[in-house]
Structure 1
């Protein structure tokens, strides 16, 4: 077991490159189950979640090969196995993304009901309702989802949930439908950039998907998909996390491989909080990122209080809520955060309060009374984004902060401590 040690109080300065998006990489890797030949994926980050999905794909007869240039080659070698076992799937909730492509290509899927972060209820019933609408027969037995459908047929699929559309559900139904007979319309589809990236990848492989980024996503089935060379988009959540780290430390940083065109809501709230942000040469068009540009973030460390609400894209990402909670904990006044995506996603508050923050949680609302400073202490990460918020807190706190349960941070941030150290942070790992 390792712990993260941070000596706070050092402004971040310099340049840092944003890695490829984890939440785009995982479904795109799973989509390779649908494809003839080899797909070369560029920008795949080195994360434990990526390693877990590679292990699952290997179990399903897929060869995954890391190339010298950092790309990942994925080739289906054997289509006989349709079971994604519990021992692998339990490691992360996103493992459910193999359900759609297995069913769509092999006519049957047996996928263990997944585990993952403890951030509240995230049922998969919407996924199952969607594939049933395509003609699959679904059974939940002995902890597994068993879906059968030799030839799926296009249909209208409504994916509304209690807190909005479902990202992984949209990805799963999209992947199940690309080889189905006829037209599928996903109503209330998730519009997140990572969903759009999956659609763009599938189209490059030969799929026929239109209305990408709209609430009614249209998929016209095709006979086959073929391997492609594809670069995934930058990780907007990693970019937002680094922006907040720069802001809370009073830093001056430049983000390369910029994701700002997907971060309008985050940038708007950072500017409202008094952070200077300059976007340079960021261009997004119908074929995806062409000119990724740069983003300059400057702050004097004096943060203004703001109110924000998490919402599905293009609203404030729920994956940025914990980091904003940390930033606003040292604001000059009272802020209110309302969580509309995962209403119980506030497990980081107790740990931030141990560091001297003054935060009160009432149901889906956090009331944050800014304090003059945070104090270093030992804290425990409860999920991926909570762990990022504690690292951000440690960077700004007086004294030394120790963070336990680092396996959470390694699920979604590639060598984050090394990259922050290159910006001037005093941060390192030690054995517990």
Structure 2
């Protein structure tokens, strides 16, 4: 199994290109199931999760071609052969559940295994099921699979979600595009990835308004057509690399970055003593002077502080001046990186969904183990700011969400290499 060796190496300088958003692309790909005509995505990230979604779509009979070194995905669902998403593929990635709404909307039936993904909490499917049932679907759980049908087709409805779930919002919106009548989805998630999905669906002929707010209205249409769409910039990769100069010093420009994607995160960085400014090509980040200051963080749905940047922010707070409190309100079990940071000399106490971090002057390199996708990159950031060598094992998580991480960090002066497993 591969590992990554990081050696603390001082300030970083240069540019890092930011890829298309993993979470947006994984939502956009199932949209091809809604139409017989081709859907082409540009600016696609080159990640193992994209390969998993490709395999899932192909298992349903869709055609998926990876072009231009993987940055263009050409898809067609004109001749699907199955409406069953098998466990062997779905277990690898939670986003696989996003085929449920499109299959149900277009074919009136779908059988989808309960999903897998990072072990950061239960993340149940009940919000997806409730929304689709509001549109007239009949859904039953049997042997680990959701068996869904809508014999008379889906019908528009008013539905308020109990929690602003991103995945459930995406599934319900896609399903509603082909439902008869108007659907009003209340307490909808507001993430940029949802706005990006709606922009793509609109290009395909969907009639949707209100994206980016808590109320989304969808007027169902008889059919959707093909389109070409550029995947939005990955705000989590952007935020992750913004932390690199914050932790190590220096000045780094993140190409393709936009402040609107990371506003609440940038506010916290500013309070900690990190300068962020927009440039013609992206965002430029530099630490103001000396050690950063401790700041408190509470994870919330967009536009609040992203749960997917909590682990990386904790790594920064490990060497901050003072004590910070990080409260995780989105997922349980999302402090599994804390014991690994403690191995590097961090002072962290975890009680339930709250972590208290008292900053130390310098972390020390150590062998650590990645427990999930975001934890893995937080340990790499910590290693870059630590004294000596850090070996991060189980980095297969990393390949799910960060393309060419070693190359990108090497390009700004980090001392980092990937060690191939035996």
Q: Is the 1:79–1:106 Cα contact (8 Å) retained in structure 2?
A: no
Q: Is the 1:62–1:76 Cα contact (8 Å) retained in structure 2?
A: yes
Q: Is 2:124 the counterpart of 1:128?
A: no
Equivalent in the alignment of 2:295? 306
Instruction: Provide the aligned length of Structure 1 versus Structure 2.
Output: 418
- With 9-18 and 141-150 compared, the bigger mean Cα shift is at 9-18
Give the alignment's TM-score, normalised by structure 2: 0.97
Aligned mates of 2:32, 2:92 — CA distance in 1: 21
State the Cα deviation string for residues 138-182 of structure 1 (Å, max 9, x = none): 010011011001310000122123xxx100000000011100000
User: Per-residue deviation at 1:68?
Assistant: 2.7
Aligned mates of 1:347, 1:66 — CA distance in 2: 35
Q: Specify the SS of the correspondent of 1:225.
A: coil
User: Per-residue deviation at 1:235?
Assistant: 0.3
Equivalent in the alignment of 1:347? 336
Equivalent in the alignment of 1:65? 65
Q: Specify the SS of the correspondent of 1:160.
A: coil
Q: Specify the SS of the correspondent of 1:102.
A: helix
Q: Is 2:374 the counterpart of 1:385?
A: yes
Aligned mates of 1:343, 1:270 — CA distance in 2: 24
User: Per-residue deviation at 1:259?
Assistant: 3.0
Equivalent in the alignment of 2:228? 229
Aligned mates of 1:121, 1:142 — CA distance in 2: 18
State the Cα deviation string for residues 263-292 of structure 1 (Å, max 9, x = none): 1101000010001111135xxxxxxxxxxx
Q: Is the 2:36–2:79 Cα contact (8 Å) retained in structure 1?
A: no
State the Cα deviation string for residues 279-318 of structure 1 (Å, max 9, x = none): 135xxxxxxxxxxx41110114511111111110100000
Equivalent in the alignment of 1:83? 84
Q: Is the 1:134–1:177 Cα contact (8 Å) retained in structure 2?
A: yes
Equivalent in the alignment of 1:20? 20
Q: Is the 1:304–1:332 Cα contact (8 Å) retained in structure 2?
A: yes
Q: How is 1:284-299 mapped onto 2 (pairs within 5 angstroms)?
A: 293-299=281-287
Aligned mates of 1:358, 1:429 — CA distance in 2: 28
Q: Is the 2:258–2:278 Cα contact (8 Å) retained in structure 1?
A: no
Aligned mates of 1:51, 1:259 — CA distance in 2: 27
Q: Is 2:208 the counterpart of 1:197?
A: no
The answer for unaligned runs of 5 or more in structure 1 is 282-292
Equivalent in the alignment of 1:243? 242
Equivalent in the alignment of 1:321? 310
Give the alignment's TM-score, normalised by structure 1: 0.95
User: Per-residue deviation at 1:79?
Assistant: 2.4
Q: Is the 1:235–1:259 Cα contact (8 Å) retained in structure 2?
A: no
Q: Specify the SS of the correspondent of 2:5.
A: strand
Equivalent in the alignment of 2:352? 363
Q: Specify the SS of the correspondent of 1:226.
A: coil
Aligned mates of 1:372, 1:361 — CA distance in 2: 20
Aligned mates of 2:108, 2:226 — CA distance in 1: 20
Q: Is the 1:5–1:430 Cα contact (8 Å) retained in structure 2?
A: yes
State the Cα deviation string for residues 19-47 of structure 1 (Å, max 9, x = none): 00001000100111102221110111010
Equivalent in the alignment of 2:411? 422
